Amino acid sequence: MGFSSFSFIITSLTKVVIIENHSIPLTQKLTQKYADPEGHFIIIIGHLQNQLTTLASVYAPNTSKQTFFRNFINKLSEISEGRVIVGGDFNTTLNTNVDRSQDILDKQKTTCSDRDTKHLIHHLKDEALVDVWREKHPLDRDYTYYSNVHATYSRIDFIFTKPTLLQYIHSAKIHYITWSDHDKEICVEITNALKEYFLNNTPTDTSLAIRWDAHKSVIRGILIKHASRIKRIKTEKIKRLSQKLHDIATAHKKKPPPDKYREIQDIRTLLIDTLSDKAAYAMCKTKYQYYEYSNKPHTMLAENREPFTPRMPYMQ
């Protein structure tokens, strides 16, 4: 479970990063790289699976999107080589009819969102880029974002590539998002923490590198707090389901009506699903620890190098 990340401008504005899995490495040094000064996109060029590939990660701003789309596509056209893969949050849909859960075509005036969509489609056509998920699901509806304000779902996150690469893509699926930058509570808390941190730590006090490294600890603390809250909720859910399963199973043993057995099966399924998530997390954590410490002078290595000494069983 090893990853490398690419982000070339270290500022408080950086909003995107490209993460590379060590099992699919960029086999040669990057031939070119570019990061948007405002932190809204990154473009890297290197050899992926022995083929020259351009990767771009995008986080479109909430305002001035038309200018952003033009600047991004112009830069992509200028430096891209080989295979082109673009992914990210574009903050607008491509087709209102199928990419939103609520039809807004009955509005008489053209909204700003419609204009943003037209500009994005125009630039995508200029670069001959296609929406991978839509190519694989031409008539389906699925969404990546829910707006509490408008009570609508929309698909604003995309992966674009050249039509010639579609033959190598067997499937495309939108998975459930467990951590989202659109979580209002977490988003507001992190934003306020960042503002306060950079306000209290001015360039005259510390260097840029120190401030950048220290700010990650601040954000990590907030995320750990929310992760602990989620873990506590899941633990309580497991206890509640286990107790409910025990009570119903005990009652069913005394007097077994048919409908109760079905309820037992449903609760058992919920409990297994919850425990499976916990087991999957434990496996990922173990893989990470072995990757991080297996070849380093660490407790894990020391324990593995100690000769095995069989212990004599005894009774106290």
Question: Which CATH number characterizes residue 8's domain?
Answer: 3.60.10.10
pLDDT reading at 11 higher than 70 = no
Higher pLDDT, 217 or 6: 217
> How far is 21 from 31, CA to CA, in rounded Å?
19
* Residue where a domain stops, chosen among 148, 179, 210: 179
Supply φ then ψ for residue 20, to 5 degrees: -110, 125
224 and 162 co-located in one domain: no
Tell me, yes or no, whether 63 lies in a domain.
Answer: yes
> How far is 209 from 94, CA to CA, in rounded Å?
39
| pTM for the whole structure | 0.59
147 and 285 co-located in one domain: no
- pLDDT digits over 115-157, tens only? 889 999 999 999 999 999 999 999 998 888 877 677 788 899 9
Tell me, yes or no, whether 306 lies in a domain.
Answer: no
213 and 174 co-located in one domain: no
> Amino acid identity, residue 144?
T
Tell me, yes or no, whether 307 lies in a domain.
Answer: no
- Domain that residue 224 falls in: 188-299
Mean local confidence (pLDDT), 297-316? 60
Q: Is the dihedral of CA 176, 55, 12, 153 positive or negative?
A: negative
pLDDT reading at 206 higher than 90 = no
- pLDDT digits over 155-167, tens only? 999 999 999 999 9
Tell me, yes or no, whether 315 lies in a domain.
Answer: no
Domain count, the chain: 2
> How far is 111 from 238, CA to CA, in rounded Å?
47
pLDDT score at 267: 85
- Residue 36 annotated as binding site: no
Q: Write a three-state SS string for 169-238.
A: CCCCCCCCCCCCCCCHHHHHHHHHHHHHHHHHCCCCCCCHHHHHHHHHHHHHHHHHHHHHHHHHHHHHHH
pLDDT reading at 175 higher than 90 = no
At residue 10 the predicted structure's pLDDT band, cuts being 50, 70 and 90, is very low
pLDDT score at 150: 75
Tell me, yes or no, whether 221 lies in a domain.
Answer: yes
pLDDT score at 306: 58
- Residue 266 annotated as binding site: no
94 and 158 co-located in one domain: yes
- pLDDT digits over 67-118, tens only? 999 999 999 999 999 999 999 999 999 998 899 886 554 444 446 677 889 9
pLDDT reading at 1 higher than 50 = no
80 and 117 co-located in one domain: yes
At residue 43 the predicted structure's pLDDT band, cuts being 50, 70 and 90, is very high
136 and 244 co-located in one domain: no
Higher pLDDT, 28 or 50: 50
Tell me, yes or no, whether 235 lies in a domain.
Answer: yes
236 and 256 co-located in one domain: yes
171 and 204 co-located in one domain: no
Tell me, yes or no, whether 173 lies in a domain.
Answer: yes
pLDDT reading at 33 higher than 80 = yes
Tell me, yes or no, whether 313 lies in a domain.
Answer: no
Catalytic residues: 59, 89, 182
> H or E element: which one contains 96?
helix 96-99
134 and 58 co-located in one domain: yes
- Residue 247 annotated as binding site: no
225 and 267 co-located in one domain: yes
96 and 217 co-located in one domain: no
Q: How wide is the angle at C-alpha 7 spanned by C-alphas 60 and 72, nearest 5°?
A: 35
> How far is 44 from 7, CA to CA, in rounded Å?
10
- Residue 91 annotated as binding site: yes
* Residue where a domain stops, chosen among 131, 160, 179: 179
DSSP class of 30: -
124 and 204 co-located in one domain: no
Window from 98-107, 167-176, 222-231 with minimum mean pLDDT: 98-107
At residue 189 the predicted structure's pLDDT band, cuts being 50, 70 and 90, is confident
- pLDDT digits over 254-276, tens only? 776 767 777 888 888 888 887 87
Higher pLDDT, 76 or 248: 76
Mean local confidence (pLDDT), 50-72? 91
At residue 23 the predicted structure's pLDDT band, cuts being 50, 70 and 90, is low
Question: What's the whole-number average pLDDT of the chain?
Answer: 80
Window from 19-33, 149-163, 199-213, 280-294 with minimum mean pLDDT: 19-33
